[in-house]
């Protein structure tokens, strides 16, 4: 069965400074439990803010390391999920349900792609 990577991108400028609300975490936890029991969720986790990260660029035969936050990026990867689904349509349905757990003030985008060779 194919595996899919869902890259969870958030707009750090609109995300609450205190992070997700307890209600959001409850809804998300319930959905993750459902997905795990259905055999769909293989792995998921959130990432620390971009201010705590570094970016490494290879260009023109040279490496450059940049400290976060990455001000030139409106959206940054805030987490990921690895799903095992029958097809892309099923992966998209689970991803839509995940996005709907968020309150309206969040701006969240998920990029869903099949893992090559899976």
**Closest Cα to residue 63, out of 51, 71, 54, 72?**
54
Distance CA 12, CA 14 (A): 5
Predicted model pTM: 0.86
Once rounded to an integer, what is the mean pLDDT over residues 3-18? 89
Query: What is the tens place of the pLDDT at every residue in 31-59?
Result: 999 999 999 999 999 998 888 999 999 99
* Domains contained in the chain, CATH given: 3-114 (3.30.70.1060)
**Closest Cα to residue 78, out of 6, 10, 4?**
10
**Closest Cα to residue 50, out of 13, 25, 98, 18?**
13
Where does residue 2 rank: exposed (0-12), middle (13-18), buried (19+ CB within 10 A)? middle
- Whether residue 84 has pLDDT greater than 90: yes
Once rounded to an integer, what is the mean pLDDT over residues 1-13? 92
């Amino acid at each position: 069965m194919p595996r899919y990577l869902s890259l969870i991108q958030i707009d750090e400028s609109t995300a609450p400074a205190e992070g997700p609300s307890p209600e959001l975490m409850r809804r998300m936890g319930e959905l993750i439990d459902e997905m795990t029991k259905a055999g769909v969720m293989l792995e998921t986790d959130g990432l620390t803010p971009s201010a705590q990260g570094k970016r490494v660029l290879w260009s023109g035969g040279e490496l450059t390391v940049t400290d976060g936050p990455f001000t030139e990026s409106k959206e940054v990867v805030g987490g990921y999920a690895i799903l095992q689904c029958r097809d892309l349509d099923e992966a998209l349905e689970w991803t839509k349900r995940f996005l709907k757990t968020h309150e309206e003030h969040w701006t969240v985008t998920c990029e869903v792609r099949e893992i090559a060779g899976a």
